[in-house]
Amino acid sequence: MGAGAGRGAAEGRGEPRVSESVAARLLAVLGAFDSGHRVLTLTGLAHRAGLPLATAHRLAAQLTEWGALERDGGGCYQIGLRLWEVATLSPRPVGLREAALPFMEDLYEATHENVQLAVRDGTEAVYVERITGHSAVGVRTRVGGRWPLHATGVGLVLLAHSPPAVQDQVCRGRLERFTEKTVRDPRRLRAMLAEVRRADAAVSDRQITMDALSVAVPVRGPGGDVAAALSLVVPSAGARPHTLMPAVRVAARGISRRLGRAAE
């Protein structure tokens, strides 16, 4: 056995069986960061990535040299600017954001409430753009953040128009509770999804926070499939969803038309 093979075998014995590939270990390091862990010490990074300290240190150094990670004044790690630059090349959210922003801005100017745009990734809604103001009701979402499909307005729209297998997976899985209003009964959720498809719109009333209500509608791509969901999040007190729906629909139709023209 050569020296390289022996070194690889020894290293493999000491590391968790998450994966033996270098690529998977690099991805584990990047995956250690999330909205609750934006800055990590080397020890914290190794722990969250499931890697030995020495391996995490070596991989973090390589990622820092390339620019995927950066180190702050205290020596802690955070996501680097180079990784953000690469992420902006992804065609789905970038093209969608460019098409949507003018209409989202118009909707915000008309309401001065939270305007949000999301796409589906598996069983989660990923928020790709958001506009808010100082006087708008507080929301827990952020650009790049992920939320389960069953509770948010955009999530309900995306879930209602997702393949049956995805709907079954969500309804048979754990429906996380955020407030006492969060729908967790699979039968009730399926009935809500049927109503979303019928009305071509969703209302999520105090399912995420007790002070907010969301009105959401689909954004359709060039082929007519649902490419995203657009929502307006307002204070739940005194909210009248039927008066909010027309403005959200107008903005969503504008985005859909822009996506159609871009495809042509």
- Where do the domains of the chain lie, and which CATH numbers do they carry? 3-86 (1.10.10.10), 91-263 (3.30.450.40)
pLDDT in the model for residue 60: 94
Helix (H, G, I), strand (E, B) or coil at 94: helix
**How far is it, in rounded angstroms, from Cα 83 to Cα 104?**
26
With b for 16 or more beta-carbon neighbours within 10 A and e for fewer, the 98-136 pattern comes to: ebbbebbeebbeebebbbbbbbbeebbbbbbbbbbeeeb
pLDDT in the model for residue 71: 92
Residue 16 has pLDDT above 60, yes or no: no
Pairing, β 39-40 against β 69-71: unpaired
Pairing, β 114-121 against β 226-235: antiparallel
Q: Which of 117, 153, 110, 71 is nearest to 256 (CA)?
A: 117
pLDDT in the model for residue 90: 66
Tens of pLDDT, residue by residue over 213-257, are: 999 999 999 888 999 999 999 998 888 999 999 999 999 999 999
Q: What are phi and psi of 219, to 5 degrees?
A: -110, 125
**How far is it, in rounded angstroms, from Cα 178 to Cα 56?**
34
Q: What percent of the chain has pLDDT over 90?
A: 66
The H helix count followed by the E strand count for the chain is 10, 9
Ranges 77-91, 111-125, 172-186, 227-241: which has the least confidence: 77-91
Residue 175 has pLDDT above 60, yes or no: yes
Q: Which residues pair with 118 in a beta bridge?
A: 127, 229
H-type alpha helices, 15-79: 22-31, 42-49, 53-66
At 94, the pLDDT band (50, 70, 90 cuts) reads: low
pLDDT in the model for residue 20: 58
> pTM of the entire structure?
0.70
pLDDT in the model for residue 10: 37
Q: Which of 196, 237, 187, 191 is nearest to 215 (CA)?
A: 196
Tens of pLDDT, residue by residue over 141-152, are: 788 888 999 999
Residue 264 has pLDDT above 90, yes or no: no
Tens of pLDDT, residue by residue over 98-131, are: 899 999 999 999 999 999 999 999 999 989 999 9
Structure tokens at 93: 């959210």
Structure tokens at 216: 């959401």
With b for 16 or more beta-carbon neighbours within 10 A and e for fewer, the 13-37 pattern comes to: eebeeeeeeeeebbebbeebbeeee
